A and B are shown apart, each in its own frame.
Chain A
Amino acid sequence: DTEVTQTPKHLVMGMTNKKSLKCEQHMGHRAMYWYKQKAKKPPELMFVYSYEKLSINESVPSRFSPECPNSSLLNLHLHALQPEDSALYLCASTGHPNPNEQFFGPGTRLTVL
Protein backbone atom coordinates (compact mmCIF):
# COMPACT_ATOMS: atom_id res chain seq x y z
CA ASP A 1 0.00 0.00 0.00
CA THR A 2 1.69 3.19 -1.20
CA GLU A 3 -0.93 5.54 0.12
CA VAL A 4 -0.59 8.80 1.99
CA THR A 5 -3.89 10.32 3.10
CA GLN A 6 -4.61 13.95 3.93
CA THR A 7 -7.60 15.62 5.54
CA PRO A 8 -9.41 17.81 4.92
CA LYS A 9 -9.38 18.05 1.11
CA HIS A 10 -10.46 21.70 1.23
CA LEU A 11 -10.30 24.26 4.03
CA VAL A 12 -11.49 27.85 4.18
CA MET A 13 -10.48 29.86 7.22
CA GLY A 14 -10.39 33.40 8.47
CA MET A 15 -7.24 35.14 9.59
CA THR A 16 -8.17 34.75 13.26
CA ASN A 17 -9.03 31.05 13.09
CA LYS A 18 -7.01 28.09 14.32
CA LYS A 19 -7.16 24.94 12.23
CA SER A 20 -5.11 21.81 11.65
CA LEU A 21 -4.18 19.74 8.62
CA LYS A 22 -3.67 16.01 9.05
CA CYS A 23 -1.52 13.53 7.16
CA GLU A 24 -1.34 9.78 7.69
CA GLN A 25 0.69 6.93 6.17
CA HIS A 26 0.77 3.24 7.02
CA MET A 27 3.77 2.22 4.94
CA GLY A 28 6.16 2.14 7.90
CA HIS A 29 8.00 5.15 6.53
CA ARG A 30 10.19 7.00 9.05
CA ALA A 31 10.40 10.41 7.40
CA MET A 32 7.48 12.72 6.67
CA TYR A 33 7.34 16.08 4.94
CA TRP A 34 5.15 19.16 4.53
CA TYR A 35 5.26 21.13 1.27
CA LYS A 36 3.48 24.29 0.17
CA GLN A 37 2.53 24.79 -3.48
CA LYS A 38 1.27 28.06 -4.93
CA ALA A 39 -0.57 28.14 -8.25
CA LYS A 40 1.64 27.46 -11.29
CA LYS A 41 4.70 26.90 -9.07
CA PRO A 42 6.51 23.75 -7.92
CA PRO A 43 6.09 22.45 -4.38
CA GLU A 44 8.39 24.03 -1.80
CA LEU A 45 9.62 22.16 1.24
CA MET A 46 8.44 23.47 4.62
CA PHE A 47 9.30 20.85 7.25
CA VAL A 48 10.88 17.41 7.53
CA TYR A 49 10.37 14.96 10.37
CA SER A 50 12.74 12.02 10.68
CA TYR A 51 11.98 9.34 13.28
CA GLU A 52 9.36 11.66 14.77
CA LYS A 53 11.86 14.48 15.31
CA LEU A 54 11.89 17.76 13.40
CA SER A 55 15.04 17.69 11.27
CA ILE A 56 14.44 20.49 8.75
CA ASN A 57 12.50 23.76 9.09
CA GLU A 58 12.88 25.84 5.95
CA SER A 59 12.51 29.18 7.77
CA VAL A 60 8.75 28.81 7.90
CA PRO A 61 6.82 31.52 9.85
CA SER A 62 5.72 30.49 13.33
CA ARG A 63 2.05 30.73 12.37
CA PHE A 64 2.67 27.26 10.89
CA SER A 65 3.37 24.71 13.63
CA PRO A 66 4.14 21.09 12.71
CA GLU A 67 3.63 18.13 14.99
CA CYS A 68 4.48 14.44 14.63
CA PRO A 69 2.58 12.52 17.35
CA ASN A 70 3.78 9.14 16.05
CA SER A 71 5.56 7.64 13.08
CA SER A 72 2.36 7.36 11.02
CA LEU A 73 0.85 10.76 11.66
CA LEU A 74 1.85 14.33 10.81
CA ASN A 75 -0.12 17.44 11.65
CA LEU A 76 0.23 21.06 10.60
CA HIS A 77 -1.36 23.52 13.00
CA LEU A 78 -2.40 26.83 11.51
CA HIS A 79 -2.95 30.07 13.44
CA ALA A 80 -3.33 33.70 12.40
CA LEU A 81 -2.67 32.97 8.73
CA GLN A 82 -2.55 35.59 6.03
CA PRO A 83 -4.34 35.53 2.65
CA GLU A 84 -0.99 34.91 0.94
CA ASP A 85 -0.80 31.59 2.80
CA SER A 86 -3.59 30.29 0.56
CA ALA A 87 -2.08 27.34 -1.32
CA LEU A 88 -2.11 23.59 -1.79
CA TYR A 89 -0.44 21.88 1.18
CA LEU A 90 1.11 18.53 0.37
CA CYS A 91 2.33 15.83 2.69
CA ALA A 92 4.86 13.17 1.70
CA SER A 93 6.72 10.26 3.25
CA THR A 94 9.83 8.23 2.45
CA GLY A 95 11.17 4.94 3.73
CA HIS A 96 11.04 1.96 1.44
CA PRO A 97 11.32 0.17 -0.90
CA ASN A 98 13.70 2.96 -1.94
CA PRO A 99 14.89 4.92 1.13
CA ASN A 100 14.67 8.29 -0.61
CA GLU A 101 11.61 7.75 -2.79
CA GLN A 102 8.87 10.19 -1.87
CA PHE A 103 5.16 9.36 -1.94
CA PHE A 104 2.70 12.23 -1.80
CA GLY A 105 -0.78 12.62 -0.43
CA PRO A 106 -3.56 14.29 -2.45
CA GLY A 107 -3.11 17.62 -0.67
CA THR A 108 -5.28 20.09 1.22
CA ARG A 109 -6.37 23.17 -0.69
CA LEU A 110 -6.36 26.03 1.81
CA THR A 111 -8.02 29.39 1.34
CA VAL A 112 -7.45 32.15 3.89
CA LEU A 113 -9.99 34.96 3.81
Chain B
Amino acid sequence: GIQVEQSPPDLILQEGANSTLRCNFSDSVNNLQWFHQNPWGQLINLFYIPSGTKQNGRLSATTVATERYSLLYISSSQTTDSGVYFCAVDNYGQNFVFGPGTRLSVLP
Protein backbone atom coordinates (compact mmCIF):
# COMPACT_ATOMS: atom_id res chain seq x y z
CA GLY B 1 0.00 0.00 0.00
CA ILE B 2 0.90 3.66 -0.14
CA GLN B 3 3.50 4.90 2.34
CA VAL B 4 3.37 8.34 3.95
CA GLU B 5 6.27 10.00 5.73
CA GLN B 6 6.31 13.26 7.65
CA SER B 7 9.16 15.42 8.83
CA PRO B 8 10.28 16.56 11.27
CA PRO B 9 8.75 14.19 13.84
CA ASP B 10 9.01 16.83 16.57
CA LEU B 11 9.35 20.59 16.42
CA ILE B 12 9.70 23.16 19.18
CA LEU B 13 9.24 26.82 18.29
CA GLN B 14 9.20 30.12 20.06
CA GLU B 15 5.98 32.06 19.62
CA GLY B 16 6.14 34.19 16.49
CA ALA B 17 8.47 31.88 14.57
CA ASN B 18 7.71 30.36 11.17
CA SER B 19 7.90 26.67 10.28
CA THR B 20 7.57 24.24 7.38
CA LEU B 21 6.24 20.72 7.76
CA ARG B 22 6.76 18.15 5.02
CA CYS B 23 4.77 15.14 3.84
CA ASN B 24 6.16 12.63 1.32
CA PHE B 25 4.04 9.89 -0.23
CA SER B 26 5.04 6.89 -2.28
CA ASP B 27 2.36 6.78 -5.00
CA SER B 28 -0.02 9.04 -6.89
CA VAL B 29 -2.98 10.29 -4.85
CA ASN B 30 -6.40 11.71 -5.53
CA ASN B 31 -6.77 13.22 -2.08
CA LEU B 32 -4.38 14.83 0.36
CA GLN B 33 -5.46 16.52 3.55
CA TRP B 34 -3.66 18.28 6.40
CA PHE B 35 -5.14 18.00 9.87
CA HIS B 36 -4.33 19.52 13.24
CA GLN B 37 -5.12 17.26 16.18
CA ASN B 38 -5.70 19.29 19.31
CA PRO B 39 -4.93 18.04 22.85
CA TRP B 40 -8.50 16.73 23.20
CA GLY B 41 -8.11 14.49 20.15
CA GLN B 42 -10.25 16.44 17.68
CA LEU B 43 -8.92 16.30 14.12
CA ILE B 44 -9.40 19.72 12.57
CA ASN B 45 -9.37 20.04 8.78
CA LEU B 46 -6.72 22.50 7.67
CA PHE B 47 -6.49 21.91 3.93
CA TYR B 48 -7.89 19.63 1.27
CA ILE B 49 -5.06 19.91 -1.25
CA PRO B 50 -4.43 17.04 -3.70
CA SER B 51 -2.50 19.55 -5.82
CA GLY B 52 -1.67 23.24 -5.98
CA THR B 53 -1.38 25.91 -3.31
CA LYS B 54 -3.88 27.21 -0.77
CA GLN B 55 -3.75 29.78 1.98
CA ASN B 56 -5.88 30.28 5.06
CA GLY B 57 -4.74 33.06 7.35
CA ARG B 58 -1.34 32.24 8.83
CA LEU B 59 -1.36 28.79 7.27
CA SER B 60 -0.65 27.80 3.72
CA ALA B 61 -0.02 24.53 1.93
CA THR B 62 1.47 23.38 -1.34
CA THR B 63 1.22 19.96 -2.94
CA VAL B 64 3.45 18.97 -5.84
CA ALA B 65 1.67 15.81 -6.92
CA THR B 66 4.18 14.92 -9.67
CA GLU B 67 6.99 14.90 -7.11
CA ARG B 68 4.86 13.27 -4.39
CA TYR B 69 5.21 15.75 -1.58
CA SER B 70 3.25 18.39 0.25
CA LEU B 71 4.35 21.24 2.50
CA LEU B 72 2.46 22.99 5.29
CA TYR B 73 3.68 26.47 6.25
CA ILE B 74 2.84 28.03 9.59
CA SER B 75 3.76 31.68 9.98
CA SER B 76 3.87 33.77 13.16
CA SER B 77 3.16 30.69 15.27
CA GLN B 78 0.99 30.94 18.38
CA THR B 79 0.75 28.70 21.44
CA THR B 80 -2.65 27.52 20.18
CA ASP B 81 -0.89 26.02 17.14
CA SER B 82 0.59 23.34 19.42
CA GLY B 83 -0.53 19.79 18.77
CA VAL B 84 0.05 17.11 16.18
CA TYR B 85 -0.13 17.81 12.47
CA PHE B 86 -1.10 14.91 10.23
CA CYS B 87 -0.92 14.52 6.51
CA ALA B 88 -3.33 11.91 5.12
CA VAL B 89 -3.72 10.58 1.58
CA ASP B 90 -6.08 8.46 -0.45
CA ASN B 91 -4.82 6.80 -3.61
CA TYR B 92 -8.00 6.14 -5.56
CA GLY B 93 -9.54 3.79 -3.06
CA GLN B 94 -11.40 4.48 0.15
CA ASN B 95 -8.36 3.59 2.23
CA PHE B 96 -7.26 6.85 3.78
CA VAL B 97 -3.68 6.52 5.08
CA PHE B 98 -2.22 8.86 7.69
CA GLY B 99 1.41 9.81 8.07
CA PRO B 100 3.03 9.43 11.51
CA GLY B 101 2.52 13.13 12.30
CA THR B 102 4.64 16.09 13.38
CA ARG B 103 4.32 17.03 17.04
CA LEU B 104 4.58 20.82 17.36
CA SER B 105 5.14 22.69 20.61
CA VAL B 106 4.99 26.49 20.52
CA LEU B 107 6.49 28.11 23.60
CA PRO B 108 5.32 31.52 24.90
Chain A residues within 8 Å of chain B by Cβ, number: 26
- Evaluate contact between B86 and A42: CB separation under 8 angstroms: yes
A58 to B93, CA, bound (A): 13
Which of A11-19, A48-56, A61-69, A77-85 touches B? A48-56
Interface residue? A109 (CB, 8 A): yes
A109 to chain B, nearest CB (A): 7
Question: Chain B: residues with CB nearer than 8 A to chain A?
Answer: 30-31, 33, 35, 40-43, 45, 48, 50, 86, 88, 90, 94-101
If A42-B101, A100-B90 touch, whether A37 touches B96 (CB-CB below 8 Å) is no
Cβ of B48 and Cβ of A98 under 8 Å apart?
A: yes
Instruction: Please tell me if the beta carbons of A100 and B30 are within 8 angstroms of each other in the complex.
Output: yes
The one of B31, B42, B99, B100 in contact with A100, judged by C-beta atoms closer than 8 angstroms, is B31
Residues of A within 8 A of B88 (CB): 42, 102
Task: Return chain A residues, CB-CB under 8 Å to B31.
Answer: 98, 100-101
Complex-state Cα separation, A89 to B33, whole angstroms: 19
Given the interface pairs A42-B100, A100-B31, A102-B88, the reply to whether A56 lies near B43 with Cβ below 8 Å is no
B41 touches A88 (CB 8 A): yes
Tell me the bound Cα distance from A55 to B60 in angstroms: 34
A107, B96: Cβ atoms under 8 Å? no
Say yes or no: B94 contacts A56, CB within 8 Å: yes
What is the distance, in angstroms, from A78's C-beta to the closest C-beta of chain B? Answer: 18
A101 touching B101 in the complex, CB below 8 Å, given contacts A45-B95, A45-B96, A50-B94: no
Query: Which residues of A90-113 have CB atoms within 8 Å of chain B's CB atoms?
Result: 90, 92, 98, 100-104, 106-107, 109
Tell me if A103 and B45 are in contact (CB < 8 A). Answer: yes
Quick check: A107 and B94 within 8 Å, CB to CB? no
Asked if B33 contacts A102 (CB within 8 A), the reply is: yes
